[in-house]
Structure 1
Amino acid sequence: MGYQQELSRRMKGFSNFAISFSIICILSGGINSLGQGISSIGGASIGIGWPIGCLVSLLFALGMAQIASAYPTAGGLYHWGSVLGGRGWGWLTAWLNLIGLVTVLGAINVGTYFFFIGAFGETLGIPATFGTQAVFVITITAIQALVNHFGIRLTTRLTDMSGYLIFAVTLVLTVSLLVFARNIDLSRLWTFTNFSGEAGGGVWPQNSSLLSLFLLCLLLPIYTITGFDASAHTAEETVDAQRVVPRGIVSSVAWSSLFGWIMLIAFVLAIPDMRQAAAGGFGVFFNTMNAVLPAGLKMLLYVGIFLAQFLCGLATVTSVSRMTFAFARDGGLPFSGALRAIHANYRTPVAAIWTTAIISVLFTLYTPAYTTIVSVTVIFLFLSYGIPIVLGLFAYGRSWTNMGPWNLGPLFRVVAALVGVAVVMIFVIGIQPPNAKALPITLIFLGLTAVVWFGLERRRFLGPPNTEAIRARQAELDAVRPAGTD
């Protein structure tokens, strides 16, 4: 692939799947963003909206898997954009993906804070204030960064455990909700009810259009089923990456979509009163759990869900640090020399780990509103996913002729075209009120990148390395690598 092996290649099939499955974490986004669905159109947001939103994410996963099989490198999206469309597209993709991953880390940990307060805040006497949110987010982000600092072996063990934990807790939660449900009404799953405004606890502004509210409810599955690019970012730490990485991308999306749908269907069916639940806004999960499940079982599930959400953030630190490392390796970032440094013993990009962790915390301090963080995350990540896939549409069979073993054939063109449409749809949905900040944040970013690229980076940034650069980097590694490491 043109890159010298620098990271420790220890991950196998399940581990590569588990890191994306852990970041997707249906017990994180599927629970913390549940109010966005229920408070839009009620039960139909789960019965109908969830599978449609998941199919959108699956389109991106299929396109990404095709390219990942051909180009399995750390920070793959940036490399794919450079190869398929040129240095400029690669540079833009890198910045979009990097900022998207930083904001998704912030969104995950802010969501974990709200879950912690809802589950344990009253018992522990912890008030829900901005100050406690800041302390909580700083603390758990630091722990996640510290674990990543000490090597991929420990991180892999924890994310492997996270994969099993998510399966187990989801199963117990689903069965428990169905067993203790007072009355099961299947018609809820296809009933559209306008819960905007006060009827939905103020999650969405008053809106008379059910179509508009249906589009807004898609943010729940689209935000939840994201982060699957982690399988690509850890490609250089994965054995047989050309086959394992695409399987990890697609299978993590497919299984998360299916298990998440079943879990949330059980949740909707267990709700005692849909109107009362919707009026609780983002409190819908805890209000329903309090009304349906026995206290002991409920607290046991809360502990499992909290741990899964923490490990979701841990896996995200892994993903964003590898993206930062890959971009810095090619000189794409300020202070690239420091950010691309690999620890001689742990074989991890320690500067990239701590830098991205700190920036994610700072972002949550600037934008404490959870829904705005979610919208910015969705827009930036899916733009970064879509650019190389759409570029692949035009390069396929022309400049891009060497496919990997995971190959959709001519169907890739159809997938890539649909991805292009989906990118526009996600952008439009993501900037709707009350997430007005998402539009200026996106436009300012795109404007700044245009100025920086045409004013400076177009002449300075070289993109993926040539052979001489690889040899020079190898000499650096040989000077610091302890004997016997792989």
Structure 2
Amino acid sequence: MTLPVHNADEQLLQRQGYDQQLHRGLSLWSSFSVGFATVSPVVGIYSVMSLGAMSVGPSWVWIVPLCLALQLLVALVYAELSSNYPLAGGCYQWVKRLAGERWAWFTGFMYLASALASLTTVAYLGGFWLWLFFTGQPPSANAQVVSGAALLLLGLGVNLFGINPLKYFVNAGIVAEAIASIGIGVLLLVFFRNHDFSLVFEGLSATATTDSSYLSGFLTAMAVGGWAFLGFDACSQVSEETADARTSTPRAILRSMILVGLTVMLTAFAVTLSYTDTAAMVSGQVIDPVTPAVVDAFGAWAERPFVGVVLVAFIACVVSVQTYIGRAVFGMARDSILPASGLLRRVDKRKVPFAAMVVSTLLASLGLALGLNATAVGTLIAFGSGGFFFVFLIVVTCALLARLTGKWKPEVGAFTLGRWGVPVNLAAFVWLLFESINVAWPRVSLAPPDAPWFQVWAVILVFSALAVLGLVYMVWAKPYNRAFK
């Protein structure tokens, strides 16, 4: 007899050693929406466009489809893992089963550090748009920090009300993303294009790299381009709240990655071909070419509505990031491997891991204080992106070794890559090894002017310090020994 979907989900969860504590109220669309809002084409394009153009000129747009194709390899491995182990905790749970409790704890620790840095970064960047929307003026350093804190509080409030309000906010973000990225991108490309398509094949002479070489600029653009495709694993963190998770979660991961990638690609081409002063964009004189392109095309009246749409997209991104971090903390705390695990694994009457949500938001708020110093916040942003690639590398490596040794074979009924499993996994490993080194590589061109040496080396220094801290704690406290078997 075929079991109802929810019963089948709960039985699968019980076979993994856990009871259903969260509310399984997300559909495939809702899970996709969480992933889409987390990766966020609006946040992505604002993160990479200016730096990409400064690195290799207008031809930077071709970095987007290249990074999408390569990062899609990682998403395929994650989709297979999430279908086999649809558990809150994501990468921690997968590594636990593939490589053991020690590596699982270390992976989870580094993942939480990277995710919290990411939440702080998105809130800080979103604070700019919040202040701009209400005042019409760019914020001071203090004002941007306060605005970022306000976004974190708003996101926490939405999350504490349960999974249904979360769905509405994330859906609003999807609409905002569609307007700001797809709708405006198409209009710019069709009606307001100021350059011939040949422009995107030009590197121009103003490539802002230390040795003026196109290869160096290309590698820098690749490092920056990868930043636009982080967060797709958010779908796996809400697996225990997704109906028919074994089928829905891998689909949500792949669909969110592909649609975000195509949307970023559209916006990249549209803004590059419609922005009039290409030389200023390439030289770094214009940090935000998107808003001027919109205002020049549609008129001054469009600026405030556009800022509002971008703000909604940032709010949805903050809400989604908080959601998956809370579930990641919950997924580790119920194995009793975090400090105060007894508190962090509690679920309230709305089926929300409220303590995990509050604690993670407080930690991200503390990180906002770094926004008072441009050098410090730059270090945080660099680590937030670099840390994720290192975690991806750990997970993909564990999956590859488990395949090759026969320790892991995808289960019947789960999403599987079949005979392509090893080739795709191996290709993802090579890509992540390259990109992890590429992102961590110390580059003066990606640091603010006159930045101290430690910011240039930020990813390596911060990751090394956290890795040493995590390893020392792991050896001393042996938290993995408390994990439920």
Equivalent in the alignment of 1:200: none
Q: 8 Å contact 1:33–1:282 — kept in the other structure?
A: no
Contact 1:108 1:309 (C-alpha < 8 Å) held by counterparts: yes
Could you tell me how far apart the structure 1 residues matched to 2:23 and 2:258 are?
Answer: 28
Determine if the alignment matches structure 1 residue 449 to structure 2 residue 470.
yes
Letter in 2 for 1:358: L
**Matched residues in 2 for 1:32 and 1:211: separation?**
21
3-state DSSP class of the match of 1:43? Answer: helix
C-alpha deviations, 1:19-75, integer Å up to 9, x for none?
Answer: 0001111011212432111111121111x1111111222111001001111110001
SS at match of 1:398: coil
Q: 1:57 to 1:436 in 2, by over 3 A?
A: same
| Number of the residue aligned with 1:340 | 345
The corresponding residue for 1:386 is 393
The residue aligned with 2:450 is none
Which letter does structure 1 place at the counterpart of 2:345? Answer: R
Give 1:92 shift.
1.3
Unaligned runs of 5+ in 2: 1-15, 448-455
The reply on whether 1:421 has 2:430 as its aligned counterpart is yes
Separation in 2, partners of 1:168, 1:293: 14
3-state SS of paired residue (1:29): helix
SS in 1 for 2:82: helix
Distance 1:236 1:109, change over 3 A: same
1:86-105 aligned within 5 A: 86-105=100-119
Q: Bigger CA drift: 416-425 or 330-339? A: 416-425
Which has the higher mean CA deviation after the structures are superposed, 412-421 or 288-297?
Answer: 288-297
Give the letter for the 1:385 counterpart: F
Q: Note closer, same or farther for the CA distance 1:463–1:380 as it changes in structure 2 (3 Å cut).
A: farther
Contact 1:223/1:374 (CA < 8 Å) preserved in 2?
A: no
Partners of 1:228 and 1:453 in 2: CA distance:
28
**Distance in 2 between residues matched to 1:348 and 1:116, nearest whole Å:** 27
State the number of aligned residues. 452
Is 2:336 the counterpart of 1:323? no
Does residue 271 of structure 1 match 2:271? no
The one-letter code sitting in structure 1 at the alignment partner of 2:480 is: F
- Equivalent in the alignment of 1:2: 17
Which one of 141, 148, 154 corresponds to residue 143 of structure 1? 154
Q: 2: distance between equivalents of 1:167 and 1:286?
A: 16
- CA gap of 1:261–1:241, structure 2 versus 1, over 3 A, is same
Whole-angstrom distance in 1 between the partners of 2:137 and 2:408: 56
1:465 and 2:464 aligned: no
1:167-210 per-residue CA deviation (whole Å, 9 max, x = no partner) reads: 2332221133235525231112221235454xxxxxxx634222
Indicate the larger mover: 364-373 or 48-57: 364-373
Q: Does the residue aligned with 1:269 lie in a helix, a strand or coil?
A: helix
Q: How far off is 1:353 after superposition?
A: 0.7
Shift in Å, 1:346:
1.4
Please, which of 39, 44, 49 is the counterpart of residue 29 of structure 1?
Answer: 44
| Residue pairs, 1:60-459, within 5 angstroms | 60-116=74-130, 120=133, 124=135, 126=137, 128-181=139-192, 183-197=194-208, 206-279=210-283, 280-343=285-348, 345-366=349-370, 369=374, 371-396=378-403, 398-403=406-411, 404-431=413-440, 432-433=442-443, 434=447, 435-457=456-478
Matched-pair contact (CA < 8 Å) for 1:36–1:219: no
Secondary structure of the 2:253 match is helix
Gaps spanning 5+ residues in structure 1: where?
Answer: 198-204, 467-486
Give the RMSD, CA atoms, in angstroms.
Answer: 2.0
The answer to whether the 8 Å contact 2:130/2:147 transfers is no
Please give the alpha-carbon distance, in whole angstroms, between the structure 2 residues aligned to 1:278 and 1:361.
Answer: 34
TM-score computed with the length of structure 1 as normaliser: 0.88
Q: Distance in 2 between matches of 1:14 and 1:182?
A: 34
CA distance in structure 1 between the partners assigned to 2:483 and 2:201 by the alignment: 49
- Once residues 378 and 221 of structure 2 are traced to their aligned partners in structure 1, the CA distance between those partners, rounded to angstroms, is 12
2: CA distance, partners of 1:275 / 1:465: 58
**How far off is 1:127 after superposition?**
5.1
Residues 401/186 of structure 1: CA separation in 2 closer, same or farther (3 Å cut) = same
Q: Bigger shift: 302-311 or 367-376?
A: 367-376
Matches of 1:12 and 1:424 in 2, distance apart?
34
1:162 Cα deviation (Å)? 2.2
Deviations 1:70-114 (A, max 9, x none): 110001110000100111111111012111111111121222123
Which amino acid is 2:407 matched to? S
Q: Which moved more, 1:411-420 or 1:162-171?
A: 162-171
CA apart distance, 1:282: 1.9
Q: Partners in 2 of 1:32 and 1:448 — Cα distance?
A: 29
Counting aligned pairs with the same residue, the percent is: 24
TM-score, normalisation: structure 2 = 0.88
1:149 corresponds to which letter in structure 2? L
Kindly provide the amino acid, as one letter, of the partner of residue 170 in structure 2: T
Whole-angstrom distance in 2 between the partners of 1:272 and 1:180: 14
Q: Secondary structure at 1:282's aligned position in 2?
A: coil
Q: Shift in Å at residue 394 of structure 1?
A: 1.6
**Preserved contact between residue 180 and residue 270 of structure 1 (Cα < 8 Å):** no
Of the structure 1 ranges 58-67 and 430-439, higher mean CA displacement relative to structure 2 is found in 430-439
> How far apart in 2 are the matches of 1:293 and 1:247?
37
Q: CA deviation at 1:464?
A: 5.0
**Contact map agreement 2:129 2:311 (CA 8 A) in 1:** yes
Q: Which moved more, 1:347-356 or 1:30-39?
A: 30-39
How far apart in 1 are the matches of 2:482 and 2:100? 8
Shift of 1:317: 0.4
1:2 offset after TM fit, Å?
1.4
Distance 1:283 1:17 in 2: 28
Q: Contact conserved, 1:32 with 1:115, CA < 8 A, in 2?
A: no
Q: 1:52 is aligned with what amino acid?
A: L
